[in-house]
């Protein structure tokens, strides 16, 4: 990727969902967080002046400083360093790119109406676990004018719309590409798949501190047993007669089909070249002499799997009689009772949940990725089985979520094809976006004025 486009692609991903717009806006912490908010433009004390002009639109020093601070926080939160000079350079490049794309959106006649802005503002509030009123109060506390905030939202929506129009519309995924992708994935899985073995064993034990004179007849017995097994005698009967393993040859000495990493490495090496039905050379270990027969050998099936989660929830829908703050308080108190053992989740769901799952104690069944709205799924995916999350605000209301189980399940053909299309689409989106962004940036008239302070 062209280094001058970083982190424009990241912003493109952020703008794909209105609810995620908060990541690039002054408000970036939840109502329950005690972390400081991102500094507002008012907090930047350096003098404001024009540092660049994109076509006819200025980029100011204050804009660059504000975005640079935000980029530093985001990158450092991921454990990576980003010095101030580099942050300013990236911020300036991003602002130039964004302004060029916003101008293209306006030239194309894309308009963001007030209703769309209201929905976006509600999405930001929900993403930060706030009501719209609380969001506006928070903005005021941070020194951000509501008109400035909504103009930022408008620009984010313009960027999102023009990118959808200019980039996503170009993406085409053929059935042949999907088939090739799946074949490559299955081939990779098959190469990594473990061999599974089913061995039968007869142990001729050697007591500790045995002398050479004592060991020789035991070895001779093991070799005789191996010879008889190779000559066709029933291995299971030989195991019952001679094995001194802990199970005394029960089940004919069979150890069961299992991956090779669950057998001693000595056993795996000794039987590597032995065909199914064959008996290996007598093997000496710390326990004694082993006679091993290969009963089964097979490659573990190459199967694409998906991590599925089984969760249950309690949903309170907001209404004039139940505000978001009241619903959050009610579910927070209920969570404490559930965690402390004073209340049962399923019983509470049957009594309180305003969702179709209430009759099943809130059980949502096994869910694959993408089945729930993003704000719900993100919280659910962070939970361990048995863990109850803090109350979550979504577009449907306020939820209390508990994960009960998690498993890796084989993917159906339809799921495999959907996954393949998504992966291929994301790859093509990356490539198409970079090419389009470079083209827009290249066609824009950019005049650099003063260096950023």
pLDDT one-digit tens code per residue, 65-113: 989 999 999 888 888 888 889 999 999 999 999 999 999 999 989 999 8
Task: Classify burial at 289, counting beta carbons within 10 Å of its beta carbon; exposed 0-12, middle 13-18, buried 19 or more.
Answer: buried
Task: Give the angle subtended at the CA of 427 by the CAs of 423 and 433, to the nearest 5°.
Answer: 140
What is the structure's pLDDT at 300?
67
Q: CB-based contacts of 159: which residues, under 8 Å, 6+ apart?
A: 11, 12, 15, 98, 101, 102, 105
Give the whole-angstrom CA distance, residue 82 versus residue 385. Answer: 36
DSSP one-letter string for 427-451: HHHHHHHHHHHHHHHHHS-EEE-SP
**In the block, residue with structure tokens 């199970």:** 247
* Highest-pLDDT range among 83-92, 250-259, 414-423: 83-92
pLDDT for position 302: 67
Mean pLDDT of the chain: 84
Encoding tokens for residue 9?
């692609």
Is the pLDDT at 10 greater than 70? The verdict is no
> What does the DSSP 8-state code read for residue 452?
P
Quickly state the pLDDT bin for 301 (edges 50, 70, 90): low
Predicted pLDDT at 421:
87
pLDDT at residue 189 tops 80: no
Q: Which residues contact 354 (CB under 8 A, 6 or more apart)?
A: 315, 316, 317, 397
- Nearest one of 364, 362, 296 to 334, comparing CA atoms: 362
What share of the chain in percent tops pLDDT 70? 88
Q: What is the pLDDT of residue 249?
A: 66
> What domains sit in the chain, N to C, each tagged with a CATH number?
3-172+426-448 (1.10.4030.10), 194-299 (3.10.50.40), 305-410 (3.10.50.40)
CA angle at residue 119 from 102 to 54, to 5 degrees?
10
For residues 85 and 451, give the distance between their C-alpha atoms in angstroms, rounded to a whole number: 11
Q: How far apart are CA 193 and CA 189, in angstroms?
A: 6
Per-residue pLDDT at 357? 95
Residue 11: pLDDT band by 50, 70, 90 thresholds? very low
Residue 378 Cα distances to 131, 241, 295, 323, 387, angstroms: 20, 59, 46, 24, 14
Residues 6+ apart with CB under 8 A from 294: 197, 198, 199, 271, 274, 275, 276, 277, 278, 279, 280
Predicted local confidence at residue 304, as pLDDT: 78
For 396, list phi and psi in degrees, rounded to 5. -95, -15
Residue 352 has a pLDDT of 95
Tens of pLDDT, residues 268-300: 999 999 999 999 999 999 899 999 999 998 876
């Amino acid at each position: 990727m062209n280094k001058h486009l970083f982190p424009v692609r990241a912003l493109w991903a952020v703008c794909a969902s209105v609810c995620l717009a908060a990541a690039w806006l002054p408000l970036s912490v939840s109502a329950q967080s005690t972390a400081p908010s991102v500094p507002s433009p008012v907090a930047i004390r350096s003098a404001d002046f024009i540092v660049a002009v994109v076509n006819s639109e200025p980029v100011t020093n204050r804009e660059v400083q504000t975005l640079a601070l935000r980029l530093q926080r985001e990158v450092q939160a991921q454990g990576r360093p980003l010095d101030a000079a580099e942050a300013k350079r990236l911020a300036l490049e991003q602002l130039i790119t964004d302004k060029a794309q916003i101008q293209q959106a306006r030239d194309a006649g894309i308009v963001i109406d007030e209703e769309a802005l209201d929905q976006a503002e509600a999405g930001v509030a929900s993403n930060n676990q706030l009501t719209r009123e609380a969001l506006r109060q928070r903005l005021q506390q941070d020194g951000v004018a509501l008109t400035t905030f909504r103009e930022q939202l408008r620009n984010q929506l313009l960027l999102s719309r023009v990118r959808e129009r200019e980039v996503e519309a170009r993406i085409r995924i053929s059935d042949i590409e999907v088939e090739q992708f799946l074949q490559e994935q299955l081939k990779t899985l098959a190469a990594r798949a473990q061999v599974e073995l089913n061995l039968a064993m007869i142990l001729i034990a050697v007591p500790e501190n045995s002398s050479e004179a004592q060991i020789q007849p035991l070895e001779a017995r093991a070799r005789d047993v191996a010879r008889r097994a190779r000559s066709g005698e029933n291995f299971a009967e030989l195991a019952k007669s001679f094995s001194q393993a802990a199970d005394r040859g029960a089940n004919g000495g069979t150890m069961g089909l299992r991956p090779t990493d669950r057998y001693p490495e000595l056993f795996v090496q000794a039987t590597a070249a032995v065909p199914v039905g064959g008996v290996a050379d007598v093997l000496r270990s710390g326990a004694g002499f082993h006679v091993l027969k290969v009963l089964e050998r097979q490659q573990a099936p190459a199967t694409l799997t998906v991590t599925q989660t089984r969760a249950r929830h309690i949903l309170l829908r907001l209404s004039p009689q139940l505000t978001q703050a009241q619903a959050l308080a009610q579910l927070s108190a209920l969570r404490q009772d559930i965690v402390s053992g004073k209340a049962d989740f399923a019983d509470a769901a049957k009594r309180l949940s305003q969702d179709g799952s209430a009759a099943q104690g809130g059980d949502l069944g096994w869910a694959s990725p993408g089945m729930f709205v993003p704000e719900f799924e993100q919280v659910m995916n962070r939970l361990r089985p048995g863990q109850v999350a803090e109350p979550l605000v979504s577009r449907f209301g306020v939820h209390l979520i508990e994960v009960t189980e998690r498993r890796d399940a084989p993917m159906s053909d339809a799921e495999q094809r959907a996954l393949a299309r998504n992966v291929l689409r994301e790859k093509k989106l990356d490539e198409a976006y970079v090419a389009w962004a470079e083209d827009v940036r290249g066609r824009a008239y950019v005049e650099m004025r003063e260096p950023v302070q």
